[in-house]
């Protein structure tokens, strides 16, 4: 049982809950997700199973795409609607769309971001949310992220009764990006408190929302002893890598993690033997060959 489940995580459950439930459904301990989704966020949560857990970091590095909503006019402890309100300014009018778009543009590209106190980032061996729940403060590390695209997707909506302004957005960003912090940073650039009022992950690790399956579908597939409809083979996850078919002599070297000589100089290649993927090798010329082991996958099968 090796591959990736393109899971749809609903709102109201944690990413850890999904992993726990899948371990029970699949009777498999080797399961890991590729980037936490907050309980109030739904969407794509790729789940690596079996040997595919060795690919977690690779999928994490693939970047993510979200759609959501930002509300201007108040802020919370968690930077989303799950926290306690800490600031409110009654807006008598909305900023211009040009002003909002300019703020989003300033948050595009290489961005220095301070993670929220209610996050899983570790400082001095403790999670930031542990400090926050204990009422303690601690200096948070500045992290470098990259925002490929951050755009408003519809007109601003001004609520004169509540004194707030809402607008939807999409964002494409690197791993480690806190989208709720982008929302509050947008507010700061506009001179008003802000909060991320909704979020959905549309894409992660090359998997889109349209390709996801639910826990109920995984349960049904397991009951029918056919996971082909819910489990992506490792080969499909690595489809963008050049595929190299090994002969018997090369396989004898690879099965023991040995370096081999191959034509070309692609940074990485996926090695196959008898139509099964066996390893990922990286271009690293040495006296023993120009490709050496990066990740061993099904070498013993």
Active site residues: 38
Tokens standing for residue 171: 């964002």
Number of H helices, E strands in the chain: 8, 18
Q: What is the dihedral of CA 90, 96, 98, 100, to 10 degrees?
A: 10
Going through 210-267 in order, the beta strands assigned E by DSSP cover 243-245
Q: Which long-range contacts (CB under 8 A, 24 or more apart) does 289-293 make?
A: 289/253, 289/258, 289/259, 289/260, 289/261, 289/262, 290/259, 290/261, 290/262, 290/265, 291/259, 291/260, 291/261, 291/262, 292/259, 293/254, 293/257, 293/258, 293/259
């Amino acid at each position: 049982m090796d591959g990736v489940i393109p899971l749809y995580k609903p709102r109201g459950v944690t990413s850890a809950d999904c992993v726990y439930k899948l371990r029970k459904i699949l009777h498999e301990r080797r399961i890991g997700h590729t980037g936490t989704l907050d309980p109030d966020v739904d969407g794509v949560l790729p789940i690596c199973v079996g040997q595919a857990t060795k690919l977690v970091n690779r999928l994490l590095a693939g970047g993510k795409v979200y759609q959501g909503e930002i509300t201007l006019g108040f802020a919370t402890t968690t930077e989303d609607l799950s926290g306690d309100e800490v600031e409110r300014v009654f807006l008598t009018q909305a900023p211009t769309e040009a002003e909002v778009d300019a703020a989003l543009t300033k948050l595009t590209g290489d961005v220095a971001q301070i993670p929220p106190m209610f996050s899983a980032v570790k400082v001095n061996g403790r999670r930031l949310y542990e400090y926050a729940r204990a009422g303690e403060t601690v200096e948070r590390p500045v992290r470098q992220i990259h925002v490929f695209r951050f755009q408003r997707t519809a007109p601003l909506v001004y609520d004169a009764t509540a004194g707030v302004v809402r607008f939807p957005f999409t964002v494409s960003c690197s791993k480690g990006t806190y989208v709720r912090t982008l929302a509050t940073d947008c507010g700061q650039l506009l001179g008003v408190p802000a909060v991320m009022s909704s979020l959905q992950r549309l894409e992660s690790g090359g998997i889109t929302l349209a390709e996801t399956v639910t826990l109920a579908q995984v349960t049904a597939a397991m009951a029918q002893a056919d996971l082909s409809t819910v489990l992506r083979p490792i080969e499909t996850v690595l489809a963008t890598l050049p595929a190299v078919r090994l002969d018997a002599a090369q396989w004898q070297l690879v099965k023991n993690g040995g370096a081999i000589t191959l034509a070309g100089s692609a940074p990485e290649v996926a090695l196959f033997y008898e139509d099964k993927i066996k390893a990922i090798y990286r271009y690293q010329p040495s006296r023993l060959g120009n490709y050496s082991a990066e990740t061993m996958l099904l070498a013993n099968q």
